[in-house]
Structure 1
Amino acid sequence: MNGVVIAGVASGVGKTVATLAVCRALQRTGRVVQPAKAGPDFIDPSHHEAATWRASRTLDPWLEGESGMRRNYARGSGDICVVEGMMGLYDGDTSTATVAELLDLPVVLVVDASAGMESVAATALGFRKYAARAGVDIDVAGVIASRAHGGKHEAGIRDALSDDLTYFGRIPPREDLEIPERHLGLEMGDESPLSAKALDAAADGIRVEALLDAARQPDWFASVETEGEASSSITDADDRPTIAVARDDAFRFVYTATRERLRERADVVTFAPTAGDDLPDCDGVYLPGGYPELYAAELSEGPALATLADRAAEGLPTFGECGGLMALSESLTTVDGDTHEMAGILPADVTMRERYQALDHVELRGKDETPICPEGQTLRGHEFHYSDADPAADARYAFDVVRGKGIDGDHDGLTEYRTLGTYAHVHPESGAFDRFVDAVTKKDWTRNGHGGSRAQH
């Protein structure tokens, strides 16, 4: 599968819109487009899916390792993979440039041209030259001019580019090509999708043939194994457990590969706690991250958390990530000061803050045997949250923090019974979800603590 990376010179230059425009332009030629996202983000992929009707793939060497990232790329399907970068091209220790180098894909640079012409070319040339200084071997193939008018504006940009930097087109300055933001970044793709009219207008400015000429299939692609260490064991049909996965407006941050892996290993049933669904019959529960603070009243009033509290006290294996941790705690206080009772399984009170409390790749070391990480081994993930948790003095932690913040700067992963809640989002290439399914299947992970059902708090 050929591929190309759409990278920005900085955050906020319009690379998500440029990525969607490229996808739409390619689709209009009859090509099947596989969208992907560099880095751990959940929000941009939701816009990819809304625009292309295909699930976006996460490509992050910290979360997945180089081989795992390549496997995840190769599990995609289509004629061409369009990878949206994160932040600026060279920003971060696992930057978009690093991803492009490891995947061996060309880079198309998105430059905000709203207040420049020749300077767009100067910026692109500087970004190409900086690759050597940054120590990465990448091909900055050319430019998409974001927020650029046609006519003289476009001609001035195109003419200023050197012969070895390709002009891949422009994105017009239109109000309907701006995606609204909320405290955690852009709104989700199903909340504020770009209209078909706006996407078509953006796609009109993309030079499709030039992009197709630049895209290439990496040398490693033909020999990569799509099944790796994290995908080594498929559960026998007779032993497949049933995993209940919360899926609604409060619990929506799930990697495509996570959904795939859980369905390979287990029978997955979804439920919507904010819509009044009760917890279905199951052998284990996964609560992903999301926006529980926006639906705290619905969660508190609905039956699912109360049922989960009772089942957790009986030993039902439960794993919650970030928003899942918040829902598993005793209470959740919103930024408006309203406090809502949550499941009460994990001994902590969670409070939303005006500013983000953590944003980083994380590394955790298991303090004890848990359903996602063996004792003494490390687990990599990502954290981005505006809440903080205030655990009880005798709370049990599953992890020491090697990198990141976790819950208190030194620890992460509250655990009670056979329930684990952590601020970290993890990828299935880490093996975490295989271990969780194994723990549910074998019923060999035990934890005795001081927690209790919701009624006890």
Structure 2
Amino acid sequence: MRSAPGLLVSAPSSGTGKTTLMLGLLRALAEDGLTVQPFKSGPDYIDPAFHKAACRRNSFNLDGWAMGRDLWHVIAAQAAGADICVAEGSMGLYDGVATRGQQGFGSSAETARAMGWPVVLVLDVGGQAQSAAATALGFRNFMPDLPFAGVILNRVASPRHERLTRLGMERAGLPVLGVLPRRGDLALPERHLGLIQAVEHPDLDTAIAGYAAFLRENVDLDAIRAAARGAPLVSGPRALPKPPAQRIAIARDAAFSFTYPHLLEGWHAAGAEILPFSPLADQAPDPDADLVWLPGGYPELHAGRIASAGTFLAALRRHAGTKPVHGECGGYMALGEMLIDKDGTRHRMAGLLGLATSYETRKFHLGYRRAVLQAPLPGHAAGEALRGHEFHYSTILDQPDAPLAQVTDADGNPVPETGSIRGNVSGTFFHLIATEENT
């Protein structure tokens, strides 16, 4: 099998404008009649929703640390029928972890090399001109076998600035695929975890259409299409993750929305019934569900509404009396005893676990996680090893229940966020990506 021809949009660092460029590129290619398959390199659950809004096709994560080759390739096969793939990198092009996982160190460069997708490097050239070429050349040569399409110059101040910067790129032998003039209205709204969610954007479709029009004026779309390439993929047994139950009631609204798309795709493919409900609308999970799943999200922004959602909380407690309930990160917090918001207001949560968390004093938790289960989790047996990612700012005040797992970071160092289990209820701060049997 060969990967569909594609490109990977990356940058030297975060904050260079690659996400807005990515969305404009997806929409512009789709407007030209292409079937565009988006991907996200690395552990991100916000960007894929923006990608789908841009080109009307589900976006999937490819993760070099958490996923093994078989899972990686079955996810890559979701591009079947696409004319072109466009992947968005995470952080800087070569940023990853210190310790190699089953597939690699988790960098966007590894994703591009594995898929054979040439890199489109987005450079913020504000405050420099010819010197930008030295940065681009260093990125081009750091991994000599990395396919490289060229650069897009962002935040160019004037025609003179463009001319000088192009001179540097010509000297370095680097193709310039586009030049984006400096504009102050292209940034997407952000909050503490990065971008706001796609469902929260006040007029996302109009914004993306504007990005696409801006790219058409300033980027050589024909050259970008011509640069797309693919590489052979190793064949082998292919299976997306199996569902943890047959009938899964999953919370889905502005407070609970962070679920990796490949997991939902695997659950659907195996015939599971996905039964969405909204805690913010005070909806009860389906009483016939085998499992209630609360994904991560932003419960801290809606803690008052969650605490007053009597129908939802009563139904959740009834379900937990006889059947399993699981929460990830924000969902875990909602299953706990108490959540203190940034203003110091205390909100009573479901009380199914003893967890107490606070955003009054923020503490940053970020990184890959390997968890060896000490107790069964829906769909997983005790002793099984899981891989995931943790990203939140909550401070843990109390975590009194039995630990769910022994959890370490990517380098094998223990972390205190072990998750919890009490009766039929479990929770983790990490978001599940894969089991080690399919890494």
TM-score w.r.t. the length of structure 1 is 0.85
Of 163, 180, 186, the match for 1:177: 186
Kindly tell me: are residues 21 and 262 of structure 1, through their superposed partners in 2, closer, same or farther at Cα, counting changes over 3 Å?
same
Is 1:401 matched up with 2:407?
yes
Rounded Cα–Cα distance in structure 2 between residues aligned with 1:46 and 1:404: 26
- Within a 5 Å distance, the mapping from 1:16-55 to structure 2 comes to 16-55=19-58
Rounded Cα–Cα distance in structure 2 between residues aligned with 1:308 and 1:353: 27
In the other structure, the counterpart of 1:186 is 195
Q: Which amino acid aligns with 1:33?
A: V
In the other structure, the counterpart of 2:65 is 62
In the other structure, the counterpart of 1:448 is none
Of 127, 135, 157, the match for 2:165: 157
Q: In the TM superposition, what is the alpha-carbon distance from 1:98 to its structure 2 partner?
A: 1.7
Q: In the TM superposition, what is the alpha-carbon distance from 1:178 to its structure 2 partner?
A: 0.9
Q: Which amino acid aligns with 1:161?
A: M
Q: Which amino acid aligns with 1:216?
A: R
Q: Contact 2:340–2:358 (CA<8 Å) still a contact in 1?
A: yes
Unaligned 5+ runs, structure 2: 98-105
Structure 1 residues 177-221: Cα deviation after superposition (integer angstroms, max 9, x where no partner): 11121111112223233252343113321211211221112122x
Q: Contact 2:62–2:72 (CA<8 Å) still a contact in 1?
A: yes
Q: In the TM superposition, what is the alpha-carbon distance from 1:422 to its structure 2 partner?
A: 0.3
Structure 1 residues 244-291: Cα deviation after superposition (integer angstroms, max 9, x where no partner): 010001001112112212223311110011012122221111111000
Tell which deviates more after alignment, 371-380 or 417-426: 371-380
Rounded Cα–Cα distance in structure 2 between residues aligned with 1:116 and 1:219: 39
Secondary structure of 1:204's partner?
helix
Q: Contact 2:74–2:239 (CA<8 Å) still a contact in 1?
A: no
Rounded Cα–Cα distance in structure 2 between residues aligned with 1:414 and 1:87: 31
Is 1:123 matched up with 2:138?
no
Aligned length: 417
Q: Contact 1:25–1:206 (CA<8 Å) still a contact in 2?
A: no
- Within a 5 Å distance, the mapping from 1:344-359 to structure 2 comes to 344-359=351-366
Q: Contact 2:41–2:88 (CA<8 Å) still a contact in 1?
A: yes
Structure 1 residues 393-432: Cα deviation after superposition (integer angstroms, max 9, x where no partner): 4x111101222799x9345121112221000101256679
Give every structure 1 segment of 4 or more consecutive aligned residues whose post-TM-superposition deviation is greater than 4 Å: 428-432
Is 1:271 matched up with 2:277?
yes
Q: Which amino acid aligns with 1:140?
A: F
Kindly tell me: are residues 90 and 215 of structure 1, through their superposed partners in 2, closer, same or farther at Cα, counting changes over 3 Å?
same
Of 184, 207, 215, the match for 1:202: 215
In the other structure, the counterpart of 2:121 is 109
> Comparing both structures, which one devotes a greater share of its residues to helix?
1
- Within a 5 Å distance, the mapping from 1:223-262 to structure 2 comes to 224=235, 228-231=238-241, 241-262=246-267
Of 134, 139, 142, the match for 2:150: 142
Structure 1 residues 127-159: Cα deviation after superposition (integer angstroms, max 9, x where no partner): 112225xxxx31232101111256333333334
Q: Contact 1:18–1:144 (CA<8 Å) still a contact in 2?
A: no
In the other structure, the counterpart of 1:446 is none
In the other structure, the counterpart of 1:219 is 232
Q: In the TM superposition, what is the alpha-carbon distance from 1:357 to its structure 2 partner?
A: 2.8
Rounded Cα–Cα distance in structure 1 between residues aligned with 2:139 and 2:219: 21
Q: Contact 1:372–1:431 (CA<8 Å) still a contact in 2?
A: no
Of 416, 421, 428, the match for 2:422: 416
In the other structure, the counterpart of 1:5 is 8
Q: Which amino acid aligns with 1:110?
A: V
Q: Contact 1:8–1:109 (CA<8 Å) still a contact in 2?
A: yes
Kindly tell me: are residues 356 and 218 of structure 1, through their superposed partners in 2, closer, same or farther at Cα, counting changes over 3 Å?
farther
Of 73, 80, 84, the match for 1:80: 84
Q: Which amino acid aligns with 1:160?
A: G
Q: Which amino acid aligns with 1:138?
A: L
